[in-house]
Chain A
Amino acid sequence: MGLFVYLRLIWDNLGGAIFWGIIWFLIEYMLVISGKIKRKEIILKDIMGRLAGLKKKIYTAIYKIPIIGRKKEQVLALDSVSLDIGTGMFGLLGPNGAGKTTLMRLLCGILEETRGCIFINDLKVSQHTEDFQSIIGYLPQEFGLYENMTAYEYLYYHAMLYGIINIKERIEKVNDVLKRVNLYQRKDEKLKNYSGGMKQRMGIARTLLHLPKIVVVDEPTAGLDPAERIRFRNFLGELSQDRIVIFSTHIVEDISGSCNNMAVLNNGKVLYKGSPEKMLEFAEGKVWTAEVPDDEFENLKNRLNITQHIRVDGRIRIKFISEDGGKIESKRVKPSLEDAYIYLLGKS
């Protein structure tokens, strides 16, 4: 009301005062509602009672307004993670949302840790971000390329960004990495014409331009066909001979085929760190196989942690993880890395 009188005085214009009064009322109303949604933790889709439909629409609209509406809730992405990574290939295994990408972004200085520290040769990454970025090559999980450029132009531009100012050296390095990733023959083709695997190789070629001591690749094999995946894995293996290669994946096969050291992450916590062979010991004696009829399989599906099932001669052969053999007629089998991984996830 005070605002209304004030506006009436300064404008001497009733229409203007009413207009601004309505605007003021709407803003106040939105602030009150957004406060109410947060305070009472109202779940918008569960709004009931009189005029529920209208309320739902109004509340949802207010909730979507930036600043006054939705506020991002803080998530504990990594919790008490302690890892020691040396030269060679290090695999980070974990389901989606486990915290692998956050860990990698922290390593590369893209994100800053809220608590805890990452050290490289006893130096804090957060205090020497720029210095360490010059020895780290990072390939994000989902990355784009400048599609209108040719492969050569793309790498040439990034070589400039990496501060390779000597022209001869720049040309040599670009040609060298193109040869290393087997794309030299197609260097003058535009990147938009490249396949998924070739784009992935292009991404890794970029990270190799400044000869990094540490290569960090986030789920590089996702979306590649099996042949490309193996080729790419082998390529990372070659790289790891004289540097640290940290690569994350949720495909167990990638780890078993290439890493000598690994860690399993789930919900931001490290469930296991060590060699893949050692991880098998967790599931030793806990993996079983059995052949069951169709109707029994339906019941067992809900009761057991079945990792594989295949139809054989009218029955279903299942492989499952259990401490006691599932109380059915079954026999123990040797666990695979995938079994051990599923066992660990189940335990957490």
Chain B
Amino acid sequence: MENRISLKEHLINIYQSIKLNEKFIFSQRFFFFFASVLLYFIIVCVVNYFNSSAERIGEEGIFIWLLSVPGIALVFYPSMSLVTSETENRTIEMIFSTAGSRYKVWLARIGVLYLFVAFIIFILCSLSFIFISDFPFLGYFFHSLFPPIFISSLIIMLSVIFRSSNAAGLLSLVVIFFLLITYPPLSSTSFNLFLNPYIKPQNIDYALWTSVVMYNRIGILLIAGFMLYYSFFRLNKREKYI
């Protein structure tokens, strides 16, 4: 048969791939993931509404607690089980025996996971914009994707190293906790995972702040990329996973 396919077929393939991969990523419970994030958002909004104006959530709070943290919560479980569920379900040997599928299976799933997370963060961003406060909408949406991407890569790497989703989850929680408690002293440095580029400290000039933000973003992407690469590299030692 002719191997060339039309653009329409490409698009259908992408759509079907997203649809099928979604079944693996969220174990067919995407609705529950979505609903729980919405519920969290509503609770924060209600608490915020009854708080005094001094205690109300500000732009910084929106960035961390209403966008980044729900994003991390969303990627947590799917990243934990991305590789280990295949081992537990004894499907990994089939994946290893399929030509070229070792990387493309997981890369496709990671891609689809990020797509769904971006979609949900977009919705949360819109709701925050409408109900809570004015902020640079697209900028907040874009920058709040960095923490979930970093944490997701970290969890995937840990789950591949320890071959246990629970160990990966537990260690990642420790890392997230560490990152949250080190947030105040590191808030205006490029080592801050939750760096909000729109809140510039007063004692830093604009050019320096731009370079801090740039190094932070490049650093996060490079480390996340390295962690994913290392995970796939380790998956080459197939005898450990079957």
Contact = CB atoms under 8 A, between A and B. Distances in A.
Q: Do A and B come from one complex?
A: yes
Interface string A126-168: 0000110110101010111111110001001110111101111
Contacts of B53: none
A111 interface: yes
B239 A167 contact: no
Contacts of A91: none
A165 B91 contact: no
Residue of A108, A140, A145, A149 with most partner-chain B CB within 10 A: A140
Contacts of A148: 23, 27-28
Contacts of A105: 93, 242
A101 to B, nearest CB: 10
A33 to B, nearest CB: 23
B20 A153 contact: yes
A167 B13 contact: yes
Contact of B94 (A140, A153, A168, A169): A140
A14 B9 CA distance: 70
A153 B105 CA distance: 16
A108 to B, nearest CB: 5
Nearest to A131: B99
A109 B93 contact: no
A100 interface: no
Contacts of A206: 94
Contacts of A130: 99-100
Q: At the interface, is chain B mostly helix, strand, loop or mixed?
A: helix
B52 interface: no
A120 interface: no
Nearest to A216: B97
A130 B98 CA distance: 8
A339 to B, nearest CB: 34
Contacts of B56: none
A26 interface: no
A286 B127 CA distance: 84
B2 A111 contact: no
Interface string B153-186: 0000000000000000000000000000000000
A110 interface: yes
A146 B23 contact: yes
A10 B141 CA distance: 44
Contact of B105 (A142, A144, A161): A161
11 contacts: A110-B97, A130-B100, A138-B93, A140-B90, A140-B94, A144-B89, A144-B91, A160-B16, A162-B99, A167-B9, A167-B13
Given A143-B90, A143-B91, 16 more contacts: A110-B96, A136-B97, A138-B97, A140-B90, A140-B93, A146-B23, A146-B24, A146-B89, A156-B16, A157-B20, A160-B16, A160-B17, A161-B101, A162-B99, A165-B3, A166-B9
